[in-house]
Amino acid sequence: MNKGIAVVTGASSGFGLLTTIELAKRNFHVIATMRNLEKGETLLQLGKQNGVEKQISLLELDVTSESSINHFKNYINELGSVDVLINNAGFAGAGFVEEIPLDEYRKQFETNFFGLIAVTQACLPFMREKQKGKIINISSISGRVGFPGISPYVASKHAVEGFSECLRLEMKPFGVEVILIEPGSYKTNIWSTGKQVTEKSLNPNSPYFTYMRKIEEQLEKGEHNFGNPLDVANRIVQLAEEEKTSLRHPIGKGIKTAIFMKNLIPWRMWEKLFFKKLG
Ligand SMILES: NC(=O)c1ccc[n+]([C@@H]2O[C@H](COP(=O)([O-])OP(=O)(O)OC[C@H]3O[C@@H](n4cnc5c(N)ncnc54)[C@H](OP(=O)(O)O)[C@@H]3O)[C@@H](O)[C@H]2O)c1
């Protein structure tokens, strides 16, 4: 049975790519969007291997480009329907605040926050008219907890959380469910794409060098614990199919406990634990 039309942003790699395949396997027709269609080959190959290539349509979409968003709007106008939207496109800007040019914050928000809003606005009319739809925003543990050295990313994901809370309450009476998925650390390209800025804080001349190195060491130590991105893709698909869902869905090793603890214990104690762990 055809489950309807799903749109995925950032489908060229990581969660977006795997979610596209899993949605197609569950009989959704997936509009797999990416900013560079030349990167679509891996997805198409994987689609063929899984026998679902006919369930996938590639579409160019850079979520930060007005003309690209307009083209996307025309495309879905012709389709006339969007049942599920997976707002996944994103990257992680890093570094210490003093060393990050303001423009880098703007770029981070253009993709992770304003881009998500633009794609959502394009899809909302169809869902509202049908009185049915699901919007799954890929947030992060960084949308619930702050970490030093990645403030652009943390700030953008906190913004996504606030926005999604409002949107959920706005759209519930219209039959549209808004959901946040909050993954911990998973093996995808995200760890290499936002590195340019971190480089500055990793320069031995930087006053933040020692601190940033400690953070990097912690990350490297934990790398073997990074989860399999397929688990996140499967969770997204499960949420896409569920009738009634709650707003927030943390996923990953220790993530629920971390969020619970942060909300439970006083900030002073949380901070102490953080610096103790950092060493
Ligand atoms: N991996 C993790 O541990 C983790 C944890 C929590 C949350 N997340 C979130 O999961 C989402 C997917 O990331 P991922 O881990 O799967 O990393 P990824 O493999 O790097 O995928 C990111 C995707 O976003 C796309 N993208 C970036 N800027 C874009 C733009 N302006 N327009 C359209 N697409 C754009 C990338 O396209 P290009 O190929 O063209 O760069 C890529 O397809 C992100 O929102 C991220 O914040 C990841």
State how many domains the chain has: 1
* Tokens describing residue 113: 């926050």
- pLDDT score for 195: 60
Q: Which among 30, 188, 224 is the best mutation to test ligand 1's pocket, defined by most ligand atoms within 8 Å of the CB?
A: 188
| Structure confidence at residue 202 as a pLDDT band (50, 70, 90) | confident
Q: What are phi and psi of 27, to 5 degrees?
A: 75, 25
Average pLDDT score over the chain: 96
Bridge partners (DSSP) of residue 60 are 34
Q: What are phi and psi of 87, to 5 degrees?
A: -85, 95
Residue 196 has pLDDT above 70, yes or no: no
Pocket of ligand 1 (CB under 6 A): 9-10, 12-16, 34-36, 39, 62-64, 88-91, 111, 115, 138, 140, 183, 185-186, 188-190, 193
Q: Note the pLDDT tens digit of each residue in 105-138.
A: 999 999 999 999 999 999 999 999 999 999 999 9
Rounded to whole angstroms, the Cα distance separating 261 from 222 reads 20
Residues ≥6 apart with Cβ < 8 Å to 202: 209, 212, 213, 216
Q: Whose CA is nearest to atom 34 of ligand 1?
A: 10
- CATH value at residue 98: 3.40.50.720
What percentage of the chain carries pLDDT values higher than 90?
91
Residue 56 has pLDDT above 60, yes or no: yes
| Structure confidence at residue 279 as a pLDDT band (50, 70, 90) | confident
Residue 164: give the domain boundaries: 5-278
Please give the distance, rounded to the nearest whole angstrom, from the Cα atom of residue 173 to the centre of ligand 1.
Answer: 31
| Structure confidence at residue 200 as a pLDDT band (50, 70, 90) | confident
Residue 77 has pLDDT above 60, yes or no: yes
Residue 193 has pLDDT above 80, yes or no: no
CA of 244: how far to CAs of 134, 159, 225, in Å? 10, 24, 31
Residues ≥6 apart with Cβ < 8 Å to 217: none
Average pLDDT over residues 170-191: 96
